Amino acid sequence: MSTRERLIESTRTLLWERGYVGTSPKGIQQLADAGQGSMYHHFSGKEELARAAIDRTAEEMRAGADAQLSGPGTAPERISAYLRRERDVLKGCPIGQLTQDPDVMAASLLREPVEETFTWLRTRLATVVAEGIDAGDLSPVIDPAATAAAIVAALQGGYVLARAAGGTKPFEQAIEGILALLGAHTVR
């Protein structure tokens, strides 16, 4: 792995574990086994490096979600597969956690990929819900955009509840709850 890649991966790890403020250039350099000169050769500073790390995390999150949501099955089955996929629940969502970081939200360079990722996810889920309505799998009374927003809110809220409780049960309940609500509108 190149020095640039090690810096990005180290930043991703530290952002997820410590947040933006807790991720120091020195900590990044130590984890990446890279010197200060190497870091500043590839990036103008911490913010630019954090943006590269957030972009990478967002790309991976979108690819994983899209793979589940584009897979086989009905729309409700694909949404269920996405929501029930294996996750490190107690670590939380690496993108969702960034919304709680005031320094990330205050810097448009860092906030932008977070906002874009959640917009993409809501739009992608709304498309799957609309496909389910068109296929006759879901009742036409549900609104795809509102349903997608509720799914994302249940997922992100599930992470928060699980972390607060120190166990995965609240997350599992949030997922099962939103799937039960979706199931109430399943036609077939």
Tens-digit pLDDT profile for residues 26-76? 999 999 999 888 898 999 999 999 999 999 999 999 999 999 999 999 999
Domain with residue 163: its CATH number is 1.10.357.10
Mean pLDDT of 147-173: 97
Residue 20 counted as domain residue: no
Residue 6 counted as domain residue: no
pLDDT over 80 (residue 106) = yes
pLDDT over 80 (residue 188) = no
Mean pLDDT of 120-136: 98
Residue 60 counted as domain residue: yes
Q: Which residues face 186 on adjacent strands?
A: 138
Residue 146 counted as domain residue: yes
Q: Who contacts 95 (Cβ-Cβ below 8 Å, separation ≥6)?
A: 54, 57, 58, 61, 114, 117, 118
User: Does residue 95 contact residue 150 with C-beta atoms inside 8 Å?
Assistant: no
> What is residue 137's predicted lDDT score, i.e. its pLDDT?
96
Tell me the pLDDT of the chain averaged across its residues. Answer: 95
Residue 26 counted as domain residue: no
pLDDT over 90 (residue 146) = yes
Residue 19 counted as domain residue: no
> What is residue 35's predicted lDDT score, i.e. its pLDDT?
87
Mean pLDDT of 126-130: 98
Number of domains in the chain: 1
pLDDT over 90 (residue 183) = yes
User: Does residue 86 contact residue 175 with C-beta atoms inside 8 Å?
Assistant: no
Backbone angles phi and psi of 24, in degrees to 5: -95, 150
Residue 71 counted as domain residue: yes
> What is residue 28's predicted lDDT score, i.e. its pLDDT?
95
| Domain around 77 | 55-183
Work out the angle between the directed axes of helices 108-134 and 75-84 (0-180°, nearest 10). Answer: 140
> What is residue 36's predicted lDDT score, i.e. its pLDDT?
86
Residue 90 counted as domain residue: yes
Mean pLDDT of 163-172: 97
Angle formed at CA 158 by CA 60 and CA 88, multiple of 5 degrees = 45
pLDDT over 80 (residue 89) = yes
> What is residue 164's predicted lDDT score, i.e. its pLDDT?
96
> What is residue 1's predicted lDDT score, i.e. its pLDDT?
83
Share above pLDDT 90 across residues of the chain, in percent, rounded to a whole number? 94
> What is residue 50's predicted lDDT score, i.e. its pLDDT?
96
Does the pTM surpass 0.95? The reply is: no
Task: Round to whole Å and give the CA distance between 63 and 26.
Answer: 31
Longest dimension (CA), the chain: 61
User: Does residue 135 contact residue 74 with C-beta atoms inside 8 Å?
Assistant: yes
Q: In this structure, what token pair is assigned to residue 134?
A: 């068109």
Give buried/exposed letters for 119-155 (b at 16+ CB in 10 A, else e).
eebbebbbebbbbbbeeebbeeebebeebbbbbbebb
